[in-house]
Amino acid sequence: MHGSPTLAKGLAAAGLVDRYHLLTFPVVLGGGKRLFDTDGADKRELKLVEHAAYANGVQFAVLDVTG
């Protein structure tokens, strides 16, 4: 699924996400929607299972939901 943090948060809250594939771009926007809430109410443990860093600064990470 691409481009919908609202849908991703809803699926995660329902316990329907078991793996995240995340691309992080080296750009500071100063605002936007959070993918993971920081209030701790719906805490999930994540385990890094794959990672790559590219010459243009993009980071790719695969994280399994473990808790």
Helix (H, G, I), strand (E, B) or coil at 23: strand
Which residue has better confidence, 2 or 25?
Answer: 25
Contact 63, 48 (CB under 8 A): yes
Q: Is the pLDDT of residue 42 over 80?
A: no
Question: For residue 45, what are its two tokens?
Answer: 């443990």
Q: How far is CA 26 from CA 41, 52, 60, 65, 66, in A?
A: 28, 14, 12, 24, 27
Residues of the domain holding 24: 5-65
Which residue has better confidence, 11 or 47?
Answer: 47
User: What's the confidence (pLDDT) of residue 18?
Assistant: 92
pTM: 0.77
Contact 64, 47 (CB under 8 A): yes
The angle subtended at Cα 44 by Cα 7 and Cα 1, nearest 5°, is: 25
In this structure, what CATH number is given to the domain that contains residue 41? 3.40.430.10
Domain count, the chain: 1
